[in-house]
Amino acid sequence: MEQMRAKAGQFKDAVVNNYQQNPGKWGAVAALFKISLAAAVITMFGINFSIALDDNRKLEKVQEEMTFSRAATVMLEDISIERGLSLVYLSNDRDSEEFRERLQEQRNRLEKSIEEGMEQMKESMKFTTEEDVLYLVEVWVDDLPDFRDRVDDGNDKNLTISDVMDFYTHITDLLISAVGDFTSPTDGDVAKRAMAWKHMLFEYDNLEKQKSLGSSMMDNWNQDLWVLFVRAGGRVDQNQDSFSFTAAETTWDSYLDLLASQEHERYKEVEEILEMATVEKLGGVGAVEFWEQFSEYTKMVQPFREQTMEDVKHYSDSALDETRSRLITNGIGLGIGIVACVFLLVDSALSAYDSWKKQRTVEELDNKFASEAKEAEEWSPT
C-alpha cells in the first residue's frame, strides 16, 4: 500500500513538474479540450436545427397544398349530386320531370363550383406538383358538356347506368385521392388527420352513390343497380372503420353520437331492406321521396367533411408552432456554440502566440548568454 501511495505521489510530482516545465503544452491540451467540447455542442444543436428546419419546410408545404385539397372538395359534392340525379333520370327512362329540373339546377351549381375550384387549383400550382391531377380534371371538364348531351338525348339507347357511374366516379375518386397526399412525409398526427379526411370524403361519396342508386330502384328495380348499391354500402363501412383509427378523438366522439342517432338507425334499416331486395317493405316509397329521406342522413354526415379538414389544419398549425420553437431553441444554441468556439479558437491562438513569443525570448536570452560566456572564455588569459 505504501509503495502504491509512493508511486502515486511520484506520478503526481512528475505531472506537476511537467506542467511547470511545459506550461504551453498543457495550455494547448486544455484549449483543445474546450474547443472539442464546443464543437460537440455545435454538432448537436446543428443536427437538431437541421431536422427542425426540414420539418418546418414540410409543414409549410402542407399548409400551402391545403389550397389544392380545399379546391378539390369544392367540386366533389356537386359532382356527386349531379352523378346521382343523372343516374336517377336515366334509370327512369328520362321521364321524370322532377328530376330533370333538379338535374338542370345542379348542373348550374356544378358550373360555378368548377369555375371556383379550377381557379383555386391553378393558384395552388405555385406550391404543389399536382399538374397531372389538374390536367385530368381539365380533360374531364372538357368532356362534361358532351356527356350531359348524351344523358339528355332520349334517342341515345347505348348510354348505360354503368357509363354514368364510371364517368363521374372516375373524377371523384381522382380528386379524393389527391386530398392529403402531401402529408405522407410529415408529422404522424398530421398524416393521420389527413387520412381521416380522405376516408370521410370516400364515405360521403359512397353515401351519395347509395342515395342515387336507391332512388333509381324505387320505381325501376334493376339487378345492376342493386349490385352497385351493395358495393357502395360495403365501401361506406370500410371507410367508416378506417375513419375510426385515424380521426381526432373529439371528432370521433361526435361521430359516435351520429351513429347512435335515429337517423343512422333508419339509414341502416333502409340499407338492409335494399340489400335483401325487399323494396316492398318500404311501403311504395317513390324515387323523389326516397331521395329526400336519404338526404336527411347525408346532410348529418356532411359536416364531418369540413371538421376533418379543420382537424388537418389544426394539427398542422400546432406541429408548425412546435417546430418553429425547436428552430428558435436550436438556432440560439447553435449560435452560442459557434460564438464560443470562435472565442476559444482566438483565445487559443493568442495564448499559443504568447507562449511562442516567451519561448523565443527565453531562447534568445539563452543564446545571448551562451555567446557572451563563450566570448569571455576566449578572451580570458590562459
Q: Are 14 and 289 in contact (CB under 8 A)?
A: no
Considering the domain boundaries, does residue 190 fall inside one?
A: yes
| pLDDT of the chain, 382 residues: tens digit per residue | 555 555 545 544 554 454 445 555 545 555 566 666 656 666 665 666 666 566 656 666 666 667 777 778 888 889 999 999 998 888 877 887 888 899 999 999 999 999 988 888 877 765 555 677 888 889 999 999 999 999 999 888 899 888 999 999 999 998 888 776 654 455 578 888 888 999 999 999 999 999 988 888 887 777 888 888 899 999 999 999 999 999 999 999 999 999 999 999 989 988 888 888 766 666 667 778 888 888 899 999 999 988 988 888 777 776 666 666 666 666 666 666 666 666 666 666 666 666 656 666 655 555 666 665 666 666 655 5
Residue 296 grid cell: 336527411
Considering the domain boundaries, does residue 68 fall inside one?
A: yes
What pLDDT sits at residue 70?
A: 79
Closest CA to 217 of 281, 157, 290, 267: 290
What pLDDT sits at residue 16?
A: 44
Q: What is the DSSP letter of 381?
A: -
What pLDDT sits at residue 200?
A: 93
What pLDDT sits at residue 316?
A: 72
Number of domains in the chain: 1
What pLDDT sits at residue 311?
A: 87
Considering the domain boundaries, does residue 172 fall inside one?
A: yes
What pLDDT sits at residue 50?
A: 63
Q: What is the DSSP letter of 276?
A: T
Q: Are 198 and 176 in contact (CB under 8 A)?
A: yes
Query: How far out from the chain centre does Cα 184 lie?
Result: 5
Considering the domain boundaries, does residue 35 fall inside one?
A: no
Instruction: Report the C-alpha gap between 273 and 279 in whole angstroms.
Output: 6
Considering the domain boundaries, does residue 304 fall inside one?
A: yes
Considering the domain boundaries, does residue 369 fall inside one?
A: no
Structural domain of residue 270, as residue ranges? 50-326
First-to-last CA distance in the chain? Answer: 59
Considering the domain boundaries, does residue 124 fall inside one?
A: yes
